[in-house]
Amino acid sequence: MSPATVLVVDDSATKRYLLVSWLTRAGFTVVEAETGESALSLLSEAEVDLVVLDVKLPDLSGFDVCERIKTDPGYGVLPVIHVSAHAVDVVDRTQGLNRGADAYLVEPIEPDELIATAQAVLRYYRARQRAESLADRMIKLAETTLAINSASTLVGLLQAAADGASEIFGGPAVVVAETADGDGLAAVAGGPTEVRPWTVEHHETSVGSTVRTEQAEAWNLADWPQREAVAVASAKLRADRTPVYVAVPASSQTPGFPVLRQLSQAVAAAVEAQRSYDEEHRIAVTLQRSLLQSRLPDVPGLELAVRYEPAGAQTEVGGDFYELTMLDGRLLVGIGDVAGHSLHAATVMAELRHAVRAYAVEGHPPGMVLELVNRFMRTVLPAESATLCLFTLEPDTGRIRLASAGHLPPLLHIEGTGASFLTPRGPLLGINAPRPEDLEFVLPRGGTLVLYTDGLIERRDSDIDVGFAALAKCASQVESSLDAFCQRLLVQLAGAGEQADDIAVVALRRS
């Protein structure tokens, strides 16, 4: 630790010489001022740790100078020791202490008394500064912990952690973690925060947290201060995981690295939760896709395209499904949505899809298939509900026979006419209610039919009519490639943000 700097303020050259000599011999660095105004001016320019201040000055009283020091937001934490040969009675000493002085020495002053008082006052102020700094860092640590646990992605988590570390320790910061796939990512703060791929040389560490000091060259991602070492905290919650690292300037640390350790542990806990989420979500999506149709039939005279996008807001599998199968020269097309997001919902979805195919293979028309599936649900799955839109299409003639069980209306686009919604009616599956006749029409050549689930158009903050209008506008033009058309629907309607529900889209065009 560098020696403390003391400002001696006294208009007497003799007294000032003595005070400076005693303090210098005791190891202090000393600067001098003769008047109150010159002392206040010097404080705004120099780094001072303690002021030794005479009470009687030619321009201002020492009491006024002390009060101005203590009320100034820039250097109000400076300790002040009054010295006086004239203001020596109880009233003077009381006034000095009441107006902010930390000690009051009456001349003649013994050198040892001055030095001991200066050291005691500095010890108190340094302890107070450490306590205030720790309290401030703990507040920022709490804010950073909240930010990293609120992040929805690993990249966002690391950015929040690096920003927080830079704010807490007042300098550059690097946070490193590995993804669930084992790819290293490093977030660097201290300028514009960025996350980049980076591979760290892992040290053998046990579960827990450790802190070590390394050369800055080993962490050359950040622009460290010149001749600065780096304090690197590593935290590991599971033996089968690689550690998380937080690197900050070593000079910013207090003994024991308490805040750095806690920050690394908080980051490790959040990273572990994010890794687990990513792994679960990947497994869920894999399971969901395994339950859906992987290949589309090749039907002369028809173009087919499908899109399925799982929700990003949960790891559970959903109940959206679609079906495209050729049966006795006709194309069977269906899209449905089982209520809920869970493994159970996915199981119900699989059962419904197989039931639809089984009844359709028997030769029943769409409306009867829905009636039989509804009867199956009410018998085997009485607590469940689902929506389903189902139709058959004759490729040669374009004739369609369509039935709906509470599903969103299909959208029909005809070149030169534009897009409009069909209006099939029917109660959702799981309800005992009469079912209307099937809707029959002919899909003209060049006509495009679009089926979709509610994730494409429903938003919590707007009416569903807004979603219908947006879909109709988006589908007013259809690309030559149905795959490109479906992708544009997803991009323009679902947006770039995290979607709250699964989305399934089926599009077919008669060529």
Structure tokens at 186: 């490093």
Q: Range with the lowest mean pLDDT among 240-244, 395-399, 477-481?
A: 240-244
pLDDT of 310 above 80: no
What tokens were used for 118? 């200066």
For the segment 442-461, the average pLDDT, to the nearest whole number, is 92
What pLDDT is stored for residue 391 in this prediction? 98
Rounded CA separation 25/214 (Å): 37
Distance separating alpha carbons of residues 425 and 301, to the nearest angstrom: 29
For residues 237-264, average pLDDT: 88
Please give the order of strands across the beta sheet that includes 399-405: 318-327, 330-341, 386-393, 399-405, 439-442
Please, which pLDDT band fits residue 229 given cuts at 50, 70 and 90?
very high
Quote the tokens at residue 120.
């005691």
256-292 tens-digit pLDDT: 888 999 999 999 999 888 887 777 667 766 766 666 7
Q: What is the pLDDT of residue 36?
A: 93
How remote is the C-alpha of 276 from its chain's centroid? 16
Segment 344-359 mean pLDDT = 87
* pLDDT value, residue 311: 72
Contact 376, 358 (CB under 8 A): no
DSSP 286-325: HHHHHHS--S----TTEEEEEEEE--SS-SS-EEEEEEEE
Span of 50-54, 218-222, 264-268, 396-400 with lowest mean pLDDT: 218-222
Q: How many CB atoms lie within 10 A of CB 327?
A: 13
Q: With bands split at pLDDT 50, 70 and 90, how would you rate the model's confidence at 10?
A: very high
Inform me whether the pLDDT recorded for 294 exceeds 90. no
Measured in whole angstroms, the distance separating CA 205 from the mean position of its chain's CA atoms is 27
pLDDT at residue 486 above 50? yes
Q: What is the distance between the alpha carbons of residues 308 and 247, in angstroms, rounded to a whole number?
A: 41
Q: For residue 480, name the pLDDT band (cuts at 50, 70, 90).
A: very high
List 247's β-bridge partners, or say none: 174, 232
What are the backbone angles phi and psi of residue 312, rounded to the nearest 5°?
Answer: -95, -5
What whole-number percentage of the chain has pLDDT above 70? 94
Q: Phi-psi bin for 257: left (phi > 0), alpha (psi -120 to 50), beta?
A: left
- Written as six digits, the tokens of 156 are 């966002």
Q: What are phi and psi of 238, to 5 degrees?
A: -135, 145
Predicted confidence band of residue 133 (pLDDT cuts 50, 70, 90)? confident
- The larger pLDDT score, comparing residue 118 to residue 87, is at 118
Q: What span, in angstroms and rounded, lies between the C-alpha atoms of 57 and 39?
A: 11
Range with lowest mean pLDDT among 127-131, 184-188, 289-293: 289-293
Give pLDDT tens digits for 67-76.
999 998 877 6
Strand partners for 419: 413
Of the two residues 144 and 180, the one the predictor is more confident about is 144
Half-sphere exposure of 81 (CA within 13 A, CB side): 24
What's the average model confidence in pLDDT over 464-486? 94
Least confident of 98-107, 129-138, 418-427: 129-138
Start-to-end CA distance of the chain, whole Å, equals 83
486/506 Cα distance (integer angstroms): 8
DSSP labels, 425-449: --PPBT-----PPPEEEE--TT-EE
Structure tokens at 310: 């799982």
C-alpha Rg value of the chain to the nearest Å? 38
The pLDDT of residue 316 = 55
Whether residue 470 has pLDDT greater than 80:
yes
Q: What is the C-alpha separation between 372 and 129, in angstroms, rounded?
A: 77
Q: Are 333 and 506 in contact (CB under 8 A)?
A: yes
Residue 440 contacts residue 399 (beta carbons within 8 Å): yes
The residue among 490, 497, 502, 503 whose CA lies nearest residue 153 is: 497
Q: What is the pLDDT of residue 499?
A: 60
Task: Summarize the confidence of residues 220-241 as an average pLDDT.
Answer: 88
The residue-averaged pLDDT of 128-144 equals: 89
Residues 391, 400: contact at Cβ < 8 Å? Answer: yes
414 pLDDT more than 90: yes
Q: Per-residue pLDDT tens for 382-394?
A: 999 999 999 999 9
Quote the tokens at residue 503.
């989305």
More confident residue, 205 or 122: 122
Strand partners for 331: 326, 393
Using alpha carbons only, what angle is made at residue 472 by residues 430 and 420, rounded to the nearest 5 degrees?
75
pLDDT for 315 equals: 47
Q: Average pLDDT over the chain, rounded to whole?
A: 89
194: its two tokens: 């960025």
| Mean per-residue pLDDT, 206-214 | 86
Question: How many C-beta neighbours within 10 Å does residue 127 have?
Answer: 10
Distances 435 to 129, 336, 374, 439 between C-alpha atoms, Å: 78, 17, 10, 12
58 cis-preceded (ω within 30 degrees of 0): no
